[in-house]
Amino acid sequence: MSASSTAEVPFTAKTKVGRITDFVDQRVGGSGILREFGRKVFPDHWSFMFGEVALYSFVILLMSGTFLTFFFDPSMAETHYSGSYTPLYNVEMSVAYNSSLNISFDIRGGLFFRQVHHWAALLFVASLGVHMLRVFFTGAFRKPREMNWVVGGVLLILAMAEGFTGYSLPDDLLSGNGLRIIDGVIKSIPVIGTYISFFLFGGEFPGTAIIGRLYVLHILLVPAMILLMIVIHLFMVVVHKHTQYPGPGRNDGNVVGYPLGPVYAAKAGGFFFIVFGVVALMAAMFTINPIWNYGPYDPSPVSAGTQPDWYIGFVDGALRLMPGVVNDFHFEYIIFGHVLTLNVLLPALVPAGIIFTVLFTYPWIERWITKDDREHHVLDRPRNAPTRTAIGVAGFTWYCVMWAAAGSDLIATHFHVALNDVTYWLRALFFLGPVFAFIVTKRVALALQRKDREIALHGRETGRIVRLPHGEFIEVHAPLNDYKQYRLVGFESPVPLPAEPNEHGVVTRKEKRRAALSRWFFEDRVAPATPAELAAAHSHGHHEAIESGDEQRTLSH
Amino acid sequence: MKALSQKRRHPLAAIALLLLGLLVTGGLYAVATTVNQAKADTTTASASDVSEGGKLFAANCATCHGMGASGSKDAPSLVGVGAAAVDFQVGTGRMPMQMNGPQAQEKPRQFNDQQTQQLAAYVASLGAGPAIPDASLLDANGDAAKGGELFRTNCAMCHNAAAAGGALTRGKFAPALAGVTPQHIYEAMSTGPQNMPVFNDANISPEGKRDIITFLKKIEANGSPGGADLGSLGPVSEGLFVWVAGLGVIIAFTIWLTSRTS
């Protein structure tokens, strides 16, 4: 071999740092990992960064949370406050609340860390939610990423659980009221509800065990599960590679973007500090969860404006929307000595159940309807999948109605309207809002598609009016460049897939249902301008001949 | 001057001008609204106060409350409501009422201290009722911790644990308590204005009321130890803030970070 002469001389680094690096590399194989990961290409788009925000928020949570565990005592033993916040001096309270107050007022940097922890928690769940909305509306959950979508959904539930257990730990009036509501929801579960409640609280609510138990869940079990899910999630991201928005030169077989090293690593590393900086600024300047205002937990008082943190808000809102009685119709029954309180059970569990069931199964629902078994690495622009976008907005609207209902009292006081009217309107919107949102969104998406088609065919309106020699006025349309043109025409527009017979030559009822759904999904469509249409539009100025490129149903302009 | 005129077409000039305008307008408004704040004081009533109060009542209140404050179909009788009720309702501008509605709104007061006192003396002369509290109960020097406990048990369900106010049914509401004078707080507890229940001396002793006032004044003076309080409205304003400001700033950064490519 020609390399034999050089192979005899072993490589020795010139500097001390180099020698240490080489020593480590020969044992760990770091350069191989770096070569593999450093070349990993990630596409660049602002909407791809919400997952990163969630990850960084979680890192901030781990760090600030560790600080808090040094000083927090999850005991429900009784004590009398003797710290420096005088409006609570000598008030009887639990050790947990006492230590939370001490963190806030008597431990250097304690209040800042508490606020960092809480703001980061709100941001963690918010960025997770926005990330999932981005994934949904761009169709990034399609093959091969269905399972990663499910992992993301599990992460959302875990994040909510982590948030709620943390919200309950300080044992102030607000968190105790929150626990009381959860206790009520658990007790409304038929037959086993009371048993679960007694098991969870170690007896009748509130007992003396719950804070310690929630603490273990909050700092050990749930974060460990979140960490595991994050590892699985990121592993799958590496395996699948990142999706990309449609553009020239981008297809399902490539990824166009920057390599991880050095550009992306630097950007991502910097972005961590940006997120940390934003959270730290919020924590330094804005109060969050002022537990000293609420006082120690006592089952008798309930403060006005008692709400859960935002991510549990939709469940609280659903509970607020549920009527206790409608005229003379009650929602509470006694069956064989067991109380069935549907006015708690239905709103607490059904909307959340529907949201998460649809969320987890949606990739398979769409896959079944479209019979699309191909891998997708190029994203859909939301307008190019009008029905999916409309479904997403309808679901989001439903969520937002319940979310708003959790703040119904504040809507009433701040907009000077009657609380009852707010509730009645939101009850109506609970049923009508999603339908309305679906119709409007679908129409908007189709209209945007038609606008895209118009621009692709006739170019951009320049606003320049030109008078021709024979007196006619026309507006000059400037043709798009190829990149912009591609964005407007380079997308798939599936047509409804009619029912097909199976291998026995039978069209099953299930298949007919699928075909009906496929029709519902795709019958309203605006086809992208074909090359022939583009050529026709650009060669002569007569637009009318190719004006209506819509297939299937004619869509009026 | 030359430098200024050269910069006038700077892209940020319009924004700077806008900010300056807003700042000036807001500053002037803030000054104008704080100049005219009312101060309450009590002196003992005399016979002339009662007769002057009677005249003021006949001219301003009798339309709804009836001659001799005996009430009408529009408004209740005021016999026996006491001087405290008049001092609260008139002293906070709730009476004379601005308009019919779920409850009387606070507004700039219509009568000065002397007139309010005369009206109070007149109504008090019609029948025994809660008197204007003694100044020794209004010094806000009681036990704040005890007052806090009383407040959380008796008041927080409507007025919010941080006294930021809250909603009641059908357009009624419990107002925020920041900036309310100790005298008006005490009178509200002893007379139960609008939709508020009466907390008589058997319910909450005068010392207890003093403690509550102490607590309220203390948390007001303390301010918010953790920074801006976002209205002390709890998790709703916090959630709104993280979604709008927190995520908003972060989205701005993501756009900046990815702006130089493709």
Instruction: Enter the CATH code of domain A42-309.
Output: 1.20.810.10
Contact status, residue B127 vs residue B177, Cβ threshold 8 Å: no
Q: What residues are paired with A339 via a beta bridge?
A: A334
Task: Report the top-level CATH class of B133-222.
Answer: mainly alpha
User: Is B145 close to A88, i.e. CB distance below 8 A?
Assistant: yes
The mean pLDDT value for A414-437 works out to: 95
User: Is A279 close to B170, i.e. CB distance below 8 A?
Assistant: no
Nearest to A342 by CA among A311, A318, A362, A367: A318
The mean pLDDT value for A167-190 works out to: 93
Q: So what's the pLDDT on residue A335?
A: 86
Tell whether residue B158 is among the known ligand binding residues.
Answer: yes
User: Is A287 close to B241, i.e. CB distance below 8 A?
Assistant: no
CA distance B56 to chain A (A): 32
Mutation target for A interface from B159, B217, B238: give the one with most A CBs within 10 A: B238
Tell whether residue B61 is among the known ligand binding residues.
Answer: yes
pLDDT above 70 covers a percentage of chain A that reads 95
Residues B28-50 pLDDT 10s: 888 776 554 433 334 456 788 88
pLDDT above 90 covers a percentage of chain A that reads 68
CA distance A58 to chain B (A): 15
Q: How many of the other CB atoms lie within 10 Å of CB of A23?
A: 11
- Put simply, whether B157 touches A (Cβ < 8 Å) is yes
Q: How many of the other CB atoms lie within 10 Å of CB of B252?
A: 12
- Put simply, whether B160 touches A (Cβ < 8 Å) is yes
Exposure string of A384-404, with b = 16+ CB inside 10 Å and e = fewer, is: bbbbbbbbbbbbbbbbbbbbb
- Examine the pLDDT at A366 and tell me if it is beyond 60: yes
User: Is A303 close to B168, i.e. CB distance below 8 A?
Assistant: no
H helices of A202-294, in order, are 210-216, 222-240, 265-285, 291-294
Q: Which of A80-89, A253-262, B49-58 shows the lowest per-residue confidence on average (mean pLDDT)? A: A253-262
Confidence of residue A451 (pLDDT cuts 50, 70, 90): very high
Which residues 85-124 in chain B show a CB within 8 A of chain A? 102
Contact status, residue A126 vs residue A160, Cβ threshold 8 Å: no
| Average pLDDT per 10 consecutive residues for chain B, totaling 262 residues | 74 87 89 52 67 91 89 89 92 89 89 91 89 89 93 93 91 92 94 91 93 94 89 91 96 88 50
Q: So what's the pLDDT on residue B8?
A: 75
Encoded tokens for B55: 């005249």
pTM of the model: 0.87
What is the rounded end-to-end Cα distance, in angstroms, of chain B?
A: 42
Nearest to B83 by CA among B57, B105, B59: B57
- Cβ-based contacts of A275 with chain B (< 8 Å): 250
Residues B60-76 pLDDT 10s: 999 899 888 888 888 88
CA distance A323 to chain B (A): 15
- Put simply, whether B4 touches A (Cβ < 8 Å) is no
CA distance A268 to chain B (A): 9
The mean pLDDT value for A193-213 works out to: 93
- Examine the pLDDT at A71 and tell me if it is beyond 80: yes
- Put simply, whether A307 touches B (Cβ < 8 Å) is yes
Q: Is A159 left (phi over 0), alpha (psi -120 to 50) or beta?
A: alpha
Q: Which of A6-15, A66-75, A177-186, B18-27 shows the lowest per-residue confidence on average (mean pLDDT)? A: A6-15
- Cβ-based contacts of B224 with chain A (< 8 Å): 287, 290
User: Is B250 close to A274, i.e. CB distance below 8 A?
Assistant: yes
User: Is A419 close to B169, i.e. CB distance below 8 A?
Assistant: yes
| Secondary structure of A14-27 in HEC code, one letter for each residue | CCHHHHHHHHHHHH
Q: Which of A34-38, A83-87, A221-225, A310-314 shows the lowest per-residue confidence on average (mean pLDDT)? A: A34-38
**Three-point CA angle A297, A77, A193, nearest 5°:** 60
The mean pLDDT value for A238-245 works out to: 90
Residues A344-365 pLDDT 10s: 999 999 999 999 999 999 999 9
User: Is the fold of B42-131 the same as that of B133-222?
Assistant: yes
* H/E run at residue A339: strand A338-341
- Cβ-based contacts of A283 with chain B (< 8 Å): 227
Q: Is B206 left (phi over 0), alpha (psi -120 to 50) or beta?
A: alpha
- How far CA B96 is from CA of B106, B189, B239, in Å, comes to 10, 20, 39
Rounded distance, CA B113 to CA B116, Å? 5
- Put simply, whether A73 touches B (Cβ < 8 Å) is no
- Cβ-based contacts of A89 with chain B (< 8 Å): 144-145
Sign of CA dihedral A397, A399, A402, A406: negative
**Three-point CA angle B24, B29, B35, nearest 5°:** 125
Q: What is the mean pLDDT of chain A?
A: 90
- Put simply, whether A304 touches B (Cβ < 8 Å) is yes
- Sorted by where each begins, the domain ranges of chain A are 1-38, 42-309, 381-386+416-557
Residues A113-157 pLDDT 10s: 999 999 999 999 999 999 999 999 999 999 999 999 999 999 999
ipTM of the shown complex: 0.89
- Looking at domain B42-131, its CATH architecture is Orthogonal Bundle (1.10)
Q: So what's the pLDDT on residue B36?
A: 44
User: Which residues, including other chains, have CB under 8 Å from residue A331's CB and lie 6 or more apart?
Assistant: A322, A323, A324, A325, A341, A342, A343, A346
Q: Is B234 left (phi over 0), alpha (psi -120 to 50) or beta?
A: left
User: Is B161 close to A173, i.e. CB distance below 8 A?
Assistant: yes
CA distance A124 to chain B (A): 10
Tell whether residue B32 is among the known ligand binding residues.
Answer: no
- Examine the pLDDT at A110 and tell me if it is beyond 90: yes
The mean pLDDT value for A58-77 works out to: 96
pLDDT above 90 covers a percentage of chain B that reads 50
User: Is B225 close to A287, i.e. CB distance below 8 A?
Assistant: yes
CA distance B241 to chain A (A): 9
- Sorted by where each begins, the domain ranges of chain B are 42-131, 133-222
Contact status, residue A461 vs residue A475, Cβ threshold 8 Å: yes
- Examine the pLDDT at A108 and tell me if it is beyond 80: yes
